[in-house]
Structure 1
Amino acid sequence: MRLEELAAGQRVNGITGAGVELVATSWIGGDFLEVTYRDAAGGIGEAFLDRTHESNLALDTGRDDTFGADAGEWKLGVEALRIKHAALIDPMLAVSNSALQPLPHQITAVYGELLPRTPLRYLLADDPGAGKTIMCGLYIKELLLRGELERCLVVAPGSLVDQWQDELWEKFGLKFSVLSREGLQGAVAGTYFDDNPLLIARMDMLKRDEDLQEDLDAIDWDLVVVDEAHRMSAKWGRDGLDRTKRYALGQLLGRRARNFLLMTATPHSGDPEAFRIFLALLDEDRFGGRPTGSTLTPGNDVMRRMLKEDLLTMEGRPLFPPRKAYTVRYRLSSVEQELYDEVGEYVRQGMVSVERIREGDRRRATNLGFALIVLQRRLASSPEAIWRSLQRRRAKLGGLRDELAERGEAFWEQATIRLPGSWSDDPTMEATAEEEAFADEAVERISAAETLGELDVELSQLDRLIPLARRARESGTDQKWLELRGILESAQMTDDSQGHPRKIIVFTEHKDTLSYLRGRITALPGRAEAVVEIHGAMDMRERRRVQHRFTQDPNTTVLLATDAAGEGLNLQAAHLMVNYDLPWNPNRIEQRFGRIHRIGQKETCHLWSLVAEDTREGAVFIRLLEKMEEQAASLGGKVYDVLGETFEGEPLERLLARAVREGEGARRHLERIIDARVGDELPRLLEQRALYREVLLPVDIEGARRRADLGQRTRLQPHLASAWFAESVHVLGGRVQLRADGTAEVLRVPEVVRERARAGTVLNARYGNVRFAPEQEQPATAGGTVLGPGSPLFDALADTVAERYASSSVSGTLLIDPTGRDDSTRLLAAVGHEIVDGRAVSTALSRRFEIVEIDESAAGAAAGLRHLDYRAATDQELTQLLGMRGTAFVDPVSLAMRWAVSHLVAEHTTDVRNSHGAATERRREAINDRLRNLSPSDPVAGRLRHRLERLAEEAQIVSRRPRIHAVALVVPASVFGITPQVDSVASLEVATARTVRDLEEQGLAATSTEVGAVQVDRGGETVWIDVRVGDGAGHRLRMARSDVIQGANLGGRYRLALVDRGDIRYVAAPYGRLRLDKYHQHEFDLVWSSVWRDGSRDLDGKKAL
């Protein structure tokens, strides 16, 4: 057929795999024709034809092949469509596809807040330990599965990047790279970000490197996530906004991100102006500019904050247990007191020098002051720590003295060390291994001496102090250790129920003390193998190994740790903790407690803090802890959540340093400050913290449970996925061997599938070990690939099958319903719909994909998995059905379109208008508020007016034409005189009512959701019960495939209730012996008597007598 013969309105074969209707044609020159067409599903497409296409072109002859497709091919093709649209079918696909069970607040965050917002500009500010990394991972996985994310950047503090990488891989199967100098050096210039679309980067690495920022500014990211985002701060100054480098980085990232998610547990430090500046990272037009005096109300469209005390389990119980803290006071022994006084005087003399040096060299004075404070803290830590530190200081300064005497250089020029950038930029950040190493170096080599003579004086002082420290160490009167020993040997360390020793974590600030304690504890009876340690000199992999041993080995009961060890480790296997040393930064007290007070902790958490009451810093700590205990009496464990913020503006470190320097003279002044901060400021901060809080209501818990239950019942993995995968590979010429344990070996991947590998992926010719259940445990050496939506092989197979059988899906097939559920003939259709906004380059706001059954009047109902229960028609049945093509189903696509337009489109559009329109209106109102306070000539006003124009376009909702992906005519078996073996409605109603009564007599809350279906709410967990009626021996139990699949998916939360003349048996795991891997098997026959014998008289498994 020549190109000149093509015209609008014709039906033509040869342009795509199936016939299409030409909508328009346009010549380009004399040999090229651009055509616009509508396919059988109603979708609009375009093609560019030249003379080489003419041999394939032909007018559609109009042959009626409606419902003529092979039923087996049709079912494979429809399942491929379901897989491609899995994120629109499974209400929590990322959960089904991952090895985790999220909590209600995590479900509401991801599926109720993050995913519905397009594009996303959001602050997730739930409390520490709420699992924000889990929420973010679920969000990323959902976007990937929906095809809405290719490039993602996670920006986090350096100490957390390994944790991010591990959790995203272990829990979600997401392989993120970590940005490194080595990687950058090995990449071709400007290509690193292109080659690493899933990337984690250190916040401070990005903020310092302008070349990296330039490369970042050239990349559009689908999603940027910033963890610990409160570190991106700025403040208004005389000349405008004074931005830190981190804040400037945040602005850059916000410009390049389509979706921008900030995460922090401390979004508001009590300063409304700083909070507004922070929110401006999300929306500068809405929150930018100098404060106008109006109250800031961010609204739940831009942030969510849930507090620990408001978080609940699926059962509605508090998620976090109580936490209690105790102060253990002790007095130094006489030898310890002498050491404390002498070293303290040495430190105070040095502090006098700091003030003198500060006038000429501020940086050197800062370094010296830091070294002296570290020395004082080691003095308070243990005799071992101060003895080792003084020895190393003497050796290093002595060696430096000899070297400088020989070279004749000024000593102080060698004694200046630059503070780590993280230390000076953010003194509240967690301790890192770098900072621990710097502290060691500072203590060993920074001195106030400026001449060799002054250095000789200091060396003689050290020569006097070192024997004092050694005598205290060897005296055997370490009172602090004796207090810790008392805790370790107390009755609280024995588990009352099992008699096993409980696990405890001991935090110290110094590695020398850690080693000292290890020696002491392992010398105790029965403790030789009980102790492990984590410190800053260990890499993250080694820390993980120690963490695993501590949490998994019942004989490992004591973990000794420094603050650097606490970074990113979850240690809720223990619920007991000791602060052997109290950190001078109060944030770290909260961070330490947070290692055990986390999701998954079942026990009340206990914290003991050891404090010497006859030391200067000890007196300050005792006053602080006393006031905290007073507040905890009314506020509970919440006092720890804002402890760090309590001392903003008057850092605790500064108060402690003053106590060391000035002693008794400053004591009363410091007590007044602590009383004001903890007594007055702390309650105010807790009140401020609750301003923007959200709480989980019972309706939220119920909604999360319903969503989780539906996802569990209808999930693709493992049963649906494995059977479809094996059959599809076989049909395409490949080979799969399914194993009884749920794993498989792909012996040959079809070549046509390998050719469909998506960009950036390569598919192997075979896979030796795959599995379909993400949660299935594998031996450590087994490895293996999880197959399901999102995995390259699985997705390539779905693409191949859907394309191969696209024409069969739309032309349709005939299916026979043997279940007896419905005695009418109806149309089964797979329908898709998309809604976009009104911008020139539109953004999809919402998509839906539904499989429905439609009657002759275009009324429809959700079909769920019913297509699995239908079989192909026999040749004889096909002959009988030929006459049915003249019925109302003669044009099935038009009938499906009628249903879609009148039902799906209308409901979908209303839902999107209600959610999207309200959010857009809130943004518009906030920008108008800013405009009213600006002069019309202000350049900012022009930008805001332009933003309002864009918002007007975004607010427009445009409904795309529905797309009919597949149709099938479903005919009940009764048409052919076949009587299905089903329970009568009357008998099933009686059996259902009898089952409900029986369960209520067992003390369970049971309700009937429909005839033959009962649900039991057992402490927040739903048990699904399928009721069947029988008459004893010889009776067959016929189960439809969809019922068996849903029962298998629910596992231990499913029962089959057999009712026989008033007697009932509840059968757990009734389908455990069935082979579900035969894809086209639409029903299963069970022997009633055999299943009955497996049953129990009550729901929980008590066997009948």
Structure 2
Amino acid sequence: MIRRFSSLQTRKAGKSLGETFLVDRLRDAVAYDRIAGYFSLSILEVAGEAMAHIPKVRVVCNSQVSLNTVGTPEGVSWGLYKSQIWKEFAASGILEREVPKDLLELLYKYLDSGRLEVRILPEERFGLIHGKAGVLTLRDGAKTSFLGSANESAGGWRLNYELVWEDDSPEAIDWVQNEFDELWGDSSAIPLTREVIEEIQRLAKRSVIGLGEWKESPNPEPASAIIETPVYRKQNGLWAHQKYFVQKVFEDHKTLGGARYVLADQVGLGKTLQLAMSAQLIALLGDKPILIIAPKTLLLQWQQELLDLLDVPSAVWDGKAWNDEKGVRYEDKTATAILRCPRKIGLISQGLISRNSDTVSHLLKGNYDCVILDEAHRARRSNLPRIEDQEYGTPEDANNLYKFMLKIAKKTNTLLLATATPVQLHPVEAWDLLYILNQSYDGILGNGYSSWMKPSEAVSYTLGESSFSGTLEEFWKWVRNPLPPSSEYSRENIEVFQILRDSLELADREWIAKPEDLERLDPPAKDRLRELQESYFSYHNPFIRHIIQRTRAYLETTLDPDTNRPILDKVEVKLFGENEDESLELGSYQSDAYELARDYCRLLAKEKRGAGFLETLLLRRIGSSMVAGKRTAYKLLHGESEPETFESLFEDEEEEVDFGTVTPPPVVGEKANILQRIINLLDSGNEEDPKAKKVYEILTKGVEGSEPWLHRGCIIFSSFYDTALSLAGDLSKKLPELKIGLYAGSNRSAILLDGRLTRTDRNLVKKMVQSGEIKILIGTDAASEGLNLQTLGSLINFDLPWNPTKLEQRKGRIQRIGQKYEKIFLFNMRYRDSVEDNVHRKLSERLEAVMDLFGQIPDTLEDAWVEEALGREAEAEKLIRDRTEKHPFAIKYNKNALTFSKSWEKTFEVLNEYERRDLLEKGW
């Protein structure tokens, strides 16, 4: 029998559609299957009591989760799936709305018990689910079905104008049930995540505490100040390795009077977020300023991430005035204006310190709760010892940034240094960073009498080059100064340092035990000390304790104890262009021009030995592109740029690496002849650059059976601006319907459409890439740092940078947390028999070992490229061999680094948002 219901008619009777139809049916039901456009917890406002006794309710509904990025349950990218479901849940407004707690608690109980199951179908699977229907099974075994416009929400059943037709005929029931079963059982239907279910419980139990109450509690929870920040409300929250670092810094700051660490995570693992979150927590605990020092190019990214991810205000010093997160500039003409930051957190450029600015020197007059140095490897001694040296001392001669850090380390409680490459040339560089941390804080390397204060011995024992075989008294010298805190566990998870400290009655803030304390140890403690000798130098040395380094490979293969899933979703790299036959063949004119460029560089090297960059400049640029090579030859020969062309619409070259910063010597004689021949060859031929041709082919057709890379989005890197600009123009003409982004420094970013170029701010280019409006981005190495491009699934290195670290930095733009593809594509381009091809061949056998030892390729391998370019192949071979076999430092990772006493996601007390924001908006 068919019954028809209208909310218009039911209202005339003084009831809602939900009361008239749904509630009545649910009271007599034992099962309920529902197809809904979307599901809302507000249904409990309508039918909560009526649903209370139903053993099983199943709802299948819509989602904007993408099949292209998530896939079927068998191939699901779990992190992305969680992230997308979470974002939809947050966007529903549940986190902002004052939903009655009893409804939240009821919903949690239904979902947690399994009595209510919700499955979500990606919209692209069947389109938007406009069909709404349901089947109810009643106590007596009878069934009924209905179709209508009402969603499973309070609006659908109580407020809106809706129509419902009920039909209890067997044919109708079977028809609706079959429709439900097909949607419910679809391979793309994915269950509501556990994270969402537990968040509903957290909100049901949520309570707000004041800032004072939080600070004064015996054990304030860091999660209370973090769990409702945008990174949790709008994104996927923090990963286990990030929480570990933040919690460790927070606990050390509270209990030890300060945290001192080098954060050396691999590129793409979220160092900035970990540091920013630590800074916020310390700012909330204390009353002194927070100072963040970063490269100028990263300052605005720091400020934006603080605001977007943590809702933390900050101010950036531009050299003359402070600028807050709203763009307000605080004019102050006094010499000490830098000491009046309008926010609790202030950011300044490393460059100002490196130039020894008088203004920046005023910072040393202040005292800080926390100082953070990003890209900390730039603070270094001037003259490193040779790798074979057996003895070397402290950094007597260091750059201005290093000297500044030694001084400001004494003015702060917590000091955090961040770098993906703590070692570039020599293992003492890692010791040098620890030496900064140790200033006025003896818990890192100990006091002036500590054995760890002798860098050559400390490095030798840590690397295992020397093995300790002394007496217990001699061993005690190493252990006691500094004595690790009681929280440090032995390799066997024994509280050995707690036992030693308890025996000596030493508090955690007392870092130095006395020589005679060895005899004061009780027998069990002395036994533990003897057992410690075997593992101490490998597992408890200061390098291990204070350099925290996680590699992507480790995190992708280690299980999170909370979820029993890998800590990090694997982002696999599928590498193309690596085989010898995949290098690109130059045309005849181009090949002749390249060989002439090689001759030119060798001639120049004979005249002026040692200027490696200048000697190889022409070869670097012609190896990038024929356009760049021709322009360089022209400028070397004539001392000026070519006449106005598309490639010279902007000022010359990218800062730091480009030709415009170099003044070439006068060119005469044979060199001048070579340069003219290069220009003539490149002018006379109509050969398309093989790289440009290959890029277009990869973007539109794919490679080795892959889909066209344009479909997944692609970033194309070049070391040189004119190469990038020329390629952008070429692609824009071939793909006229597409917007192509050009990302570069010095205000030279642009958007190209149908060959027309529009200069624009590079932040706008970045936003257009992240929103999906731009699918092809061409970038100089200005795009290789501080840029998050998880929306792109492929990368082409149009040229290989001679500083190999940049390869990792480039890859880190897309191989990072939040990448939407489980596998990213990467193509390395090089001309056959070029310098890049020859060095790549020599490096390829050792590259994996280099990466394992360094976490990144060391910058110093650039020297190998120079030697190869100048024909000194034996020297190139030796450099590669030395830097891989005589590796600088392999930092082990503490396997206990992912143990938490409490899951942050189950924190029920949250910090008062107004008090939190008010404190952070106060100035120094």
Same fold? TM cut 0.5:
yes
Contact 1:222 1:259 in 2 (8 A): yes
Summarize the Cα distance change of 1:108–1:282 in structure 2 as closer, same or farther, 3 Å threshold.
Answer: same
Contact 2:315 2:341 in 1 (8 A): no
Match of 1:99?
A: 230
Summarize the Cα distance change of 1:545–1:639 in structure 2 as closer, same or farther, 3 Å threshold.
Answer: farther
Match of 1:21?
A: none
Match of 1:566?
A: 784
Distance 2:877 2:630 in 1: 31
Summarize the Cα distance change of 1:625–1:481 in structure 2 as closer, same or farther, 3 Å threshold.
Answer: farther
Aligned pairs (5 A) from 1:14-25: none
1:792, distance to aligned residue in structure 2 (A): 2.7
Q: Which runs of 5+ in 2 are unaligned?
A: 1-206, 232-236, 323-330, 386-391, 463-540, 643-651, 750-759
SS in 2 for 1:155: strand
Match of 2:769?
A: 550
1:689 to 890, 903, 916: 890
Contact 1:535 1:565 in 2 (8 A): yes
2:293 to 138, 155, 161: 155
Aligned pairs (5 A) from 1:451-470: 454=668, 462-470=675-683
Match of 2:589?
A: 335
1:240, distance to aligned residue in structure 2 (A): 7.2
SS in 2 for 1:281: helix
Distance 1:94 1:81 in 2: 10
1:80, distance to aligned residue in structure 2 (A): 8.6
Match of 1:309?
A: 553
Pairing 1:656–2:865 present: yes
Contact 2:269 2:817 in 1 (8 A): yes
1:258, distance to aligned residue in structure 2 (A): 2.2
Question: Could you list the per-position Cα deviations for residues 1031-1063 of structure 1 after superposition, in whole angstroms to 9, with x for gaps in the alignment?
Answer: xxxxxxxxxxxxxxxxxxxxxxxxxxxxxxxxx
Query: Match of 1:708, as an amino acid?
Result: W
SS in 1 for 2:790: coil
Contact 2:596 2:674 in 1 (8 A): no
Contact 1:152 1:199 in 2 (8 A): yes
1:130 to 250, 259, 269: 269
1:466, distance to aligned residue in structure 2 (A): 1.8
1:336, distance to aligned residue in structure 2 (A): 1.1
Distance 1:519 1:143 in 2: 48
1:607, distance to aligned residue in structure 2 (A): 1.8
Pairing 1:509–2:719 present: yes
Contact 2:312 2:920 in 1 (8 A): no
Distance 2:410 2:548 in 1: 22
1:693, distance to aligned residue in structure 2 (A): 4.1
Query: Match of 1:391, as an amino acid?
Result: Y
Distance 2:853 2:730 in 1: 33
Identify, as 1 or 2, the structure richer in strand.
Answer: 1
Match of 2:840?
A: 621
Q: TM-score when scaled to structure 1?
A: 0.47
1:151, distance to aligned residue in structure 2 (A): 0.8
1:709 to 905, 911, 914: 905
Contact 1:154 1:200 in 2 (8 A): yes
1:603, distance to aligned residue in structure 2 (A): 1.9
User: How many aligned positions are there?
Assistant: 571
Distance 1:619 1:495 in 2: 27
Match of 2:880?
A: 674
1:589, distance to aligned residue in structure 2 (A): 0.9
1:457, distance to aligned residue in structure 2 (A): 7.2
SS in 2 for 1:201: strand
Distance 2:910 2:704 in 1: 44
SS in 2 for 1:489: helix
Question: Could you list the per-position Cα deviations for residues 119-160 of structure 1 after superposition, in whole angstroms to 9, with x for gaps in the alignment?
Answer: 2241123322221211122122223333x1441110112222
Distance 1:794 1:221 in 2: 14
Q: How many percent of aligned residue pairs carry the same amino acid? A: 23
Match of 1:857?
A: none
Pairing 1:139–2:358 present: no
Distance 1:567 1:432 in 2: 18
Distance 1:240 1:396 in 2: 42
Match of 1:325?
A: 575
The CA RMSD measured in Å over matched residues stands at: 3.7
1:83, distance to aligned residue in structure 2 (A): 5.4
Summarize the Cα distance change of 1:168–1:432 in structure 2 as closer, same or farther, 3 Å threshold.
Answer: farther
Contact 1:611 1:622 in 2 (8 A): no
SS in 1 for 2:613: helix
Summarize the Cα distance change of 1:353–1:171 in structure 2 as closer, same or farther, 3 Å threshold.
Answer: same
Distance 2:362 2:339 in 1: 8
Query: Match of 1:610, as an amino acid?
Result: M
Query: Match of 1:625, as an amino acid?
Result: S
Match of 1:242?
A: 397
Distance 1:794 1:277 in 2: 33
Distance 1:398 1:499 in 2: 35
Distance 2:784 2:403 in 1: 29
Summarize the Cα distance change of 1:483–1:714 in structure 2 as closer, same or farther, 3 Å threshold.
Answer: same
Summarize the Cα distance change of 1:433–1:259 in structure 2 as closer, same or farther, 3 Å threshold.
Answer: farther
1:290 to 454, 465, 476: 454
SS in 1 for 2:370: strand
Contact 1:222 1:257 in 2 (8 A): yes
Contact 1:127 1:306 in 2 (8 A): yes
Question: Could you list the per-position Cα deviations for residues 553-586 of structure 1 after superposition, in whole angstroms to 9, with x for gaps in the alignment?
Answer: 25x3221111122221011212311111000001
Contact 1:129 1:599 in 2 (8 A): yes
Contact 2:321 2:332 in 1 (8 A): yes
Between stretches 594-603 and 653-662, larger displacement belongs to 653-662
Q: Which runs of 5+ in 1 are unaligned?
A: 1-78, 359-365, 400-430, 646-650, 722-786, 797-1105
Pairing 1:203–2:353 present: no
1:214, distance to aligned residue in structure 2 (A): 3.8
Distance 2:222 2:268 in 1: 25
1:85 to 197, 213, 227: 213
Contact 2:803 2:862 in 1 (8 A): yes
Q: TM-score when scaled to structure 2?
A: 0.56
Contact 2:393 2:456 in 1 (8 A): no
Question: Which of these two proteins has the greater Rg computed from alpha carbons?
Answer: 1
Query: Match of 1:614, as an amino acid?
Result: D
1:210, distance to aligned residue in structure 2 (A): 5.3
Summarize the Cα distance change of 1:489–1:565 in structure 2 as closer, same or farther, 3 Å threshold.
Answer: same
Distance 1:380 1:593 in 2: 20
Match of 2:856?
A: 642
Match of 1:167?
A: 305
Distance 1:397 1:382 in 2: 19
Distance 2:375 2:813 in 1: 17
Question: Could you list the per-position Cα deviations for residues 735-789 of structure 1 after superposition, in whole angstroms to 9, with x for gaps in the alignment?
Answer: xxxxxxxxxxxxxxxxxxxxxxxxxxxxxxxxxxxxxxxxxxxxxxxxxxxx533
Aligned pairs (5 A) from 1:570-589: 570-589=788-807
Between stretches 181-190 and 571-580, larger displacement belongs to 181-190
Distance 1:492 1:457 in 2: 43
1:381, distance to aligned residue in structure 2 (A): 1.4
Contact 1:324 1:606 in 2 (8 A): yes
Contact 2:718 2:724 in 1 (8 A): yes
1:269, distance to aligned residue in structure 2 (A): 5.2
Query: Match of 1:181, as an amino acid?
Result: G
Summarize the Cα distance change of 1:94–1:134 in structure 2 as closer, same or farther, 3 Å threshold.
Answer: farther
1:547, distance to aligned residue in structure 2 (A): 1.5
Summarize the Cα distance change of 1:108–1:397 in structure 2 as closer, same or farther, 3 Å threshold.
Answer: closer
Question: Could you list the per-position Cα deviations for residues 238-276 of structure 1 after superposition, in whole angstroms to 9, with x for gaps in the alignment?
Answer: 897333322211111101112222222223458454433
Match of 2:88?
A: none
Match of 1:279?
A: 434
Distance 2:417 2:882 in 1: 33
Distance 1:238 1:291 in 2: 6
Summarize the Cα distance change of 1:108–1:673 in structure 2 as closer, same or farther, 3 Å threshold.
Answer: closer
Question: Could you list the per-position Cα deviations for residues 571-628 of structure 1 after superposition, in whole angstroms to 9, with x for gaps in the alignment?
Answer: 1212311111000001111111111111112422232111222224422222223543
Pairing 1:347–2:601 present: yes
Contact 2:795 2:826 in 1 (8 A): yes
Pairing 1:227–2:374 present: yes
